[in-house]
Amino acid sequence: MHIRYDKASDQAIVTPCKRVAGMIVPPPDKSIAQRAALLAAIGDGTSRLVNYPSSADPLSTLRCLRQLGIQIEKDGNDLLVRGKGLDGFSPPAAPLDCGNSGTTMRLLSGLLAGQPFDSVLTGDASLRGRPMERVAGPLRAMGAKITLNDGCAPMRIARSERLRGMEYRLPMPSAQVKSCVLLAGLRAQGRTTVIETLPSRDHTERMLNLATQEQGGARHIFVTGNTPVPARARVVPNDFSSAAFFMVAAAIAPQGALLLKNVGLNPTRSALVGALEDMGARICISDLRESGGEPVGDMHITASALRGARVDGERIPLLIDEIPILAVAAARAEGRTEIRDARELRFKETDRISAMAENLRRLGASVEEFDDGLSVDGPAELHGERVSSHHDHRVAMAMAVAGLMARGETVIEDASCAGVSFPNYWQALASVAS
Ligand code: S3P
């Protein structure tokens, strides 16, 4: 057993392996699932959600929706969400706890602004430290009354008139901010246009079938206020971001041959494939098909010698959540890998630039940190060490893959946070490592 999770100490203990091989069915995509739940809640009638994840973030979304009076039931493995229409939320009796989930807080704020009742959105210590002005600002411009605590949650949303539609140019490539404004636009008067100059994940636009137009190098996304959202069944594909840890594990292992099943391959999410291929990884996609409006396929990854590459610019938002694991691949690649234009990483569940730089250095990698990214000179002879997850699921999971390639024992502290997106990660990784 090369990975062991010790519940009592909340540590994952990882020892080096030679082979990463077998098959993994990654958990369902939380980004897509959370949007599906929110849209079902404001839908007209009952929506069936198929393959809804049991990870902590999507459960936080359901908990908040229930507090807003939405009935959600299990039907076998599916969820039935009894949508109450655009104006169907009931006033919540207590603050809405979004846990660790930025997507829940930022997207839900778009639906709670301009309601005839007050609401408070809060979360765990990590979420209460993340910037919320980026959603409060545009919502206020639409007429919402929102107060923050020094730019952060708790977000207090006071009852107000219906919002007014507006044109909003995104100041940063954030799918959460984009989705927040689009969801607010659904309930607002008139038309709302969101303009993005750098593309980010487009699940919200896809699910709502929104009209888009390229204009002057930017993408305009339109939503007409007061358009009912039909109830419908939605199938959640498996999560590319969760698959990413296994892709890299198989690519950098001495021997690797892994099959990842039914993985969401939306191009606004899967730029890691191209980045790893640039580094020399061997990735083969088969059975590419469409499921629930999203491209889905199987991925086969075989081990190969990687070389360093530069990853920056427009590609960054399309692999933003995969940068911690990309940094691990970089530590095993020959030459320099430089990841730039990724300052947004400093505002995730933790500051992922500094957390990954610190952790990889502890294992012996040569890492330089920049304000907007990092560079790694490889290949490093990694050695096991004690590292902190910084309470960030993606840091914990990335460091486990690094540990599989490090001499001796790597201990990841506060490892249970992996459950934010991948409930049985430690067992899944152990099942393919030998
Ligand atoms: C997400 C968008 C991204 C991503 C996060 C999920 C989403 O955040 O990092 O994990 O579901 O829209 P930003 O919008 O802050 O870039």
What is the distance of C-alpha 58 from the center of its chain?
Answer: 11
- Same structural domain, 98 and 139: yes
CA atoms of 111 and 423, how far apart (whole Å): 28
Atom number of ligand 1 nearest to Cα 175: 14
Asked if pLDDT for residue 404 goes beyond 90, the answer is yes
Domain assignment present for residue 398? The answer is yes
Domain assignment present for residue 129? The answer is yes
Give the pLDDT confidence of 169-227 residue by residue, as tens digits.
999 999 999 999 999 999 999 999 999 999 999 999 999 999 999 999 999 999 999 99
So which residues are the catalytic ones?
321
Could you tell me the distance, in angstroms and rounded to a whole number, from the CA of residue 427 to the centre of ligand 1? 26
Give the pLDDT confidence of 60-80 residue by residue, as tens digits.
999 999 999 999 999 999 999
- Same structural domain, 289 and 420: yes
Could you tell me the distance, in angstroms and rounded to a whole number, from the CA of residue 364 to the centre of ligand 1? 30
Q: Are 409 and 432 in contact (CB under 8 A)?
A: no
* Ligand 1 pocket, residue 421 CB under 6 Å: no
Atom number of ligand 1 nearest to Cα 241: 10
Domain assignment present for residue 231? The answer is no
Q: Are 28 and 237 in contact (CB under 8 A)?
A: yes
- Same structural domain, 263 and 211: no
Domain's final residue, options 190, 224, 258:
224
**Per-residue pLDDT at 356:** 98
- Same structural domain, 385 and 335: yes
Could you tell me the distance, in angstroms and rounded to a whole number, from the CA of residue 344 to the centre of ligand 1? 10
Strand ranges for 303-346 from DSSP E: 310-311, 335-339
Q: Are 382 and 407 in contact (CB under 8 A)?
A: yes
CA atoms of 40 and 7, how far apart (whole Å): 35
Asked if pLDDT for residue 333 goes beyond 90, the answer is yes
Could you tell me the distance, in angstroms and rounded to a whole number, from the CA of residue 113 to the centre of ligand 1? 20
* Ligand 1 pocket, residue 57 CB under 6 Å: no
Q: Among 174, 179, 207, 349, which residue has the most ligand 1 atoms within 8 Å of its CB, making it the best to mutate? A: 174
**Per-residue pLDDT at 389:** 98
* Ligand 1 pocket, residue 132 CB under 6 Å: no
* Ligand 1 pocket, residue 320 CB under 6 Å: yes
Domain assignment present for residue 119? The answer is yes
- Same structural domain, 154 and 291: no
Domain's final residue, options 191, 224, 257:
224
Report the pLDDT averaged over residues 97-119. 98
* Ligand 1 pocket, residue 344 CB under 6 Å: yes
Domain assignment present for residue 229? The answer is no
For residues 417, 422, 424 and 425, what is the CA-based torsion angle, rounded to 10 degrees? -80
**Per-residue pLDDT at 347:** 98
pLDDT band at 411; cut points 50, 70, 90: very high
CA atoms of 159 and 112, how far apart (whole Å): 9
- Same structural domain, 206 and 354: no
Could you tell me the distance, in angstroms and rounded to a whole number, from the CA of residue 9 to the centre of ligand 1? 30
- Same structural domain, 209 and 256: no
Could you tell me the distance, in angstroms and rounded to a whole number, from the CA of residue 304 to the centre of ligand 1? 30
Atom number of ligand 1 nearest to Cα 178: 14
- Same structural domain, 207 and 267: no
Asked if pLDDT for residue 292 goes beyond 90, the answer is no
* Ligand 1 pocket, residue 294 CB under 6 Å: no
> For the chain, what is the largest distance between any 2 Cα atoms, rounded to a whole number of angstroms?
62
Domain assignment present for residue 308? The answer is yes
CATH number at residue 142: 3.65.10.10
Give the pLDDT confidence of 120-150 residue by residue, as tens digits.
999 999 999 999 999 999 999 999 999 999 9
Give the pLDDT confidence of 233-288 residue by residue, as tens digits.
999 999 999 999 999 999 999 999 999 999 999 999 999 999 999 999 999 999 99
Atom number of ligand 1 nearest to Cα 34: 11
What is the value of pTM for the model shown? 0.98
- Same structural domain, 351 and 321: yes
Domain's final residue, options 224, 257, 276:
224
Roughly what angle, to the nearest 10 degrees, separates helices 175-187 and 30-41? Answer: 10
Scored b (16 or more CB within 10 A) or e, 130-147 reads bbbebbbebbbebbbbbe
* Ligand 1 pocket, residue 105 CB under 6 Å: no
Domain enclosing residue 177, as ranges: 30-224
* Ligand 1 pocket, residue 103 CB under 6 Å: yes
Give the pLDDT confidence of 334-389 residue by residue, as tens digits.
999 999 999 999 999 999 999 999 999 999 999 999 999 999 999 999 999 999 99
- Same structural domain, 210 and 326: no
* Ligand 1 pocket, residue 201 CB under 6 Å: yes
Tell me how many domains the chain contains. 2
- Same structural domain, 329 and 264: yes
Domain assignment present for residue 81? The answer is yes
Domain assignment present for residue 230? The answer is no
pLDDT band at 1; cut points 50, 70, 90: confident
Give the pLDDT confidence of 6-48 residue by residue, as tens digits.
999 999 999 999 999 999 999 999 999 999 999 999 999 999 9
User: Which tops the pLDDT comparison, 1 or 210?
Assistant: 210
Atom number of ligand 1 nearest to Cα 173: 16
Could you tell me the distance, in angstroms and rounded to a whole number, from the CA of residue 12 to the centre of ligand 1? 26
**Whole-number mean pLDDT of the chain?**
98
- Same structural domain, 256 and 398: yes
Write down the H helix ranges in 157-239: 175-187, 203-208
